[in-house]
Copies of this chain bind each other. A is one copy, B any other.
Amino acid sequence: MTVTAPAGFAAAGVPAGLKSTGAKDLALVVNQGPNFDSASVFTANRCKANPILWSQEVVKDGVVRAVVLNSGGANCYTGAEGFQTTHAVAEQVAGKLGIGAIDVIVCSTGLIGLSNPRQNLLDGVDAAHAALSEDGGAEAAEAIMTTDSVSKNVVVEGAGWSIGGMAKGAGMLAPQLATMLVVLTTDAVVPAADLDRALRAATRVSFDRLDSDGCMSTNDTVTVMASGASGITPSLDDFTQALTQACTDLAMQLLKDAEGADHEIAITVLNAATEDEAVEAARSVARSNLFKAAVFGNDPNWGRVLASLGTTQALFDPADLDVAMNGVWVCRKSTPAEDPAGVDLTGRDVTVTIDLKSGTERATVWTNDLTHAYVHENSAYSS
């Protein structure tokens, strides 16, 4: 059920002393080949962390042989010294594995603006290398947790090949192109160009549609490595479908573990003129603090849905919108319809369905409610 499920991968997770609790905080995932194809997507945030600046160069040739990840510090806005730390970590991994540092992706997560202690990281790399195991995926997934309450892993089985994955992330969840830290592995034979196509198709409808709190991270990375160890070459369609399934599964695990959330909310926009407009309309509702607070209070406040839609440029007639919550059409033609008292919001899963009546496209964006626990956790995170 982890990144080491597919053949050709070893992983480890160890404590390197970055977390004050002494918990595991450094992970290493190594592709043992025979192939070293890869693809990656990174945060669209213009303010990028040092590991992103490094890894963007690493991925350019489509070859990645290892990913080293740490929690306990994002190494973001730490200046030239921070970049040198990222570089030193990649070199340390490369030296241990007898490969080039330019084939090593580095990912970091934690507080922005804090320098990571370099020697701890280098010693942690040595320890992780010594602990590398074909059963090490679960420990790697534990080592990248920050405010996550559980580690996140997935396996999707193909015909003679498989995809494994791990993810971390519980806040600052509003990716564009990528989100949080996600490492995917496969033993299928997939050339780098096809991997790239499949990964962009998969993230577009999974991580990119997750908008827990509207805040885009500086460190988001999703990377996939293909070892080819199964010797099997699936069709690009089959592989893309499996990769999408793996990404969606991990995205839903992130959603369910979002900081302080009481509800998981799926906002589906139907009959939009374009898919982009469906996403824009759904995202506007996902970012309404008033709507999200209402869901926390089990209040089917559809007026706040319409008020959010009105801030978008999506094609629709403001006088002809339908809205359902948990299947009850509380608003038809922009006027009250079925009794909102019939909407039971006491469960965790909430659906909002919006009919724009302006085309045939649709999209779903997932978010959480706005709770006291969210405010508490995020008012105390760095102190």
A9 close to B (CB within 8 Å): no
B333 touches A46 (CB 8 A): no
A215 close to B (CB within 8 Å): yes
Q: Which of A358-383 contact B (CB under 8 A)?
A: 370-372, 374-376, 378-383
A79 touches B334 (CB 8 A): yes
Name the B residues within 8 Å of A312 (CB-CB). 46
A30 close to B (CB within 8 Å): no
- The size bracket of the interface on A is 35 or more
How many copies of this chain does the complex contain?
2
A307 touches B375 (CB 8 A): no
Q: Given the known inter-chain contacts A48-B310, A217-B307, please indicate yes or no for A376 contacting B372, CB distance below 8 A.
A: yes
A311 touches B216 (CB 8 A): yes
B379 touches A307 (CB 8 A): no
Name the B residues within 8 Å of A207 (CB-CB). none
User: Which one of A227-235, A266-274, A283-291 contacts B?
Assistant: A283-291
Query: Measured between alpha carbons, how far is A170 from B171 in the docked complex, in Å?
Result: 27
A296 close to B (CB within 8 Å): yes
> Can you report 14 residue pairs joining A to B where beta carbons are below 8 Å apart?
A46-B311, A48-B318, A76-B303, A79-B333, A113-B331, A214-B288, A215-B290, A215-B308, A218-B307, A289-B370, A289-B374, A297-B380, A301-B381, A375-B375
Chain A residues within CB distance 8 Å of chain B: 45-48, 74, 76-79, 82, 111-115, 171-172, 213-218, 287-290, 293-294, 296-299, 301-304, 306-312, 318, 321, 331, 333-336, 370-372, 374-376, 378-383
